[in-house]
Amino acid sequence: MCLSVALPALLLAGCSHTHPVPVSVAIPKPVLKAAVVPAVSDAPPGALAHWKASSVLVYFFAFSPDGKQLLTVSEGNQVKIWAIANRTLLHSFQAPDDSISGLVYSPNGRWIAAIGDKKERSYIDIYDAHTGHPILRFSPEVIGIYNLKFSRDSSRLMGHGSAISIWDTKTWRNLYHLKTDDSAMLMPNGQRFVRCSTAGVIHVCDARTGITVRKWRMAASKNDHSYTLQSISNDGRAFMVSKYENDQMTLRLLKVSTGQQIRKFSGDKVNSPATFSPRGDTVANWSFDDRGPDQLAFWNVRTGEYKQVYEGGVMSAAFSPDGKTVAMSDTMGGINIFRVPNWK
């Protein structure tokens, strides 16, 4: 994939429309030549790899579908593309004028979708990852869409934040839109999505119509604004909901088909965000605030076994596509790679 050329072109695409329209933009040359960044001496114990990605916070990152490259976005909209194997900085550039809040690769490797705000308006950019050409730019109906996810076959794209929106990637037309503060995630098959209100009302909905096909309500809470949908397993059979109450975080793993609880993680070792591994046998969770211990930790879904691999604030974390490692960004601008436990 020609990632190092495509991203600057995407971020410089200079038009915004309510409906998707093609854009044609000259592809600028990368602003930084490749350079090897050596591992630094203060690598945390157990890390497979560690390097300084930025002098400021790295807010989020994404693996390429083949797991060989890592794209980071740091404070001030500094975008960098790394070769993971030898920590090579391939290219670095400043996102001009825009506030980029997320990037996601399509599983088929054809596109990267970017979400951000410009002049009090959200926008989404789609570009071809193979050729580096921008395909289109469009604006959701509301500002505040901050998270994007493709379906497993890359046929649909979902964004959520202050609304839920789903687009068909064949035409890039909106299939469904709902203004809501509910947390939501697209199921891997792209046909349905799960949304969870802060009061713990959970809906499994048709992705085209929004019609609820299944509905549950979590246990009543003294705090009526404590529930958040955290993750859906890659096989689409389970989802994870967090509950924060009385200064404690609880993670519940539930069956999509029935709402039956599979596993519950609770106590002073639990925090959020949290996500399933690609194989669904492990949960990773991390934190950098006062809602739980500052750490990166893993939980065995089958047995409930816990293993902490990093102690300290974690800005973001993600499993590699093969599920064998996790990348995390610390509060000092560092990137760390840890091996996922091989549970017995």
pLDDT digits (tens, 9 = 90+) for 191-211: 999 999 988 999 999 999 999
Confirm whether 116 is domain-assigned.
yes
Residue 263 has a pLDDT of 94
Q: What is the pLDDT of residue 141?
A: 66
Whole-number Å distance between alpha carbons of 151 and 208? 13
Q: What is the pLDDT of residue 265?
A: 93
Q: Is residue 78 part of a domain?
A: yes
Output the CA–CA distances (angstroms, integers) from residue 308 to 96, 203, 239, 338, in the order listed: 38, 33, 22, 11
For the chain, which ranges sit under pLDDT 50? Answer: 1-6, 8-34
Question: Contact 207/190 with Cβ under 8 angstroms?
Answer: yes
What are the start-end ranges of the E strands in 69-170? 69-74, 78-83, 88-94, 99-105, 111-117, 122-128, 134-138, 145-150, 156-161, 163-168
Q: What is the pLDDT of residue 90?
A: 80
State the total domains in the chain: 1
- Residue 118, pLDDT score: 72
281 falls within a domain = no
Q: Does residue 146 lie within any of the structural domains?
A: no
Return d(Cα 66, Cα 69) in angstroms, integer.
8
CB atoms within 10 A of CB 131: 15
Q: Which contacts qualify for 38-46: CB closer than 8 Å, 24 or more apart?
A: 38/87, 39/87, 40/334, 43/336, 44/310, 44/312, 44/330, 44/336, 46/309, 46/310, 46/338, 46/339
Query: Is residue 72 in a domain?
Result: yes
Q: Is 15 left (phi over 0), alpha (psi -120 to 50) or beta?
A: beta
- CA distances 189 to 102, 154, 343, Å, are 22, 9, 28
Give pLDDT, residue 222: 60
pLDDT given at position 132: 55
pTM value? 0.85
pLDDT computed for residue 30 by the predictor? 40
How confident is the model at residue 161, as a pLDDT? 83
What is the signed CA dihedral for 257, 304, 150, 229, rounded to 10 degrees? 70
Domain assignment of residue 61, yes or no: yes
Domain assignment present for 26: yes
| Cα–Cα distances in angstroms (integers) from residue 191 to residues 71, 155, 275, in the given order | 28, 10, 21
Question: How do residues 268-325 score in pLDDT, each as one tens digit?
Answer: 888 889 999 999 999 999 986 666 668 899 999 999 999 999 988 888 899 999 999 9
Mean pLDDT across the chain? 82
What is the rounded distance in angstroms from the CA atom of residue 139 to the CA atom of residue 126? 11
SS3 content of the chain, % helix, strand, coil (to 5): 5, 50, 50
Range(s) of the domain holding residue 129: 1-139
92 found inside a domain = yes
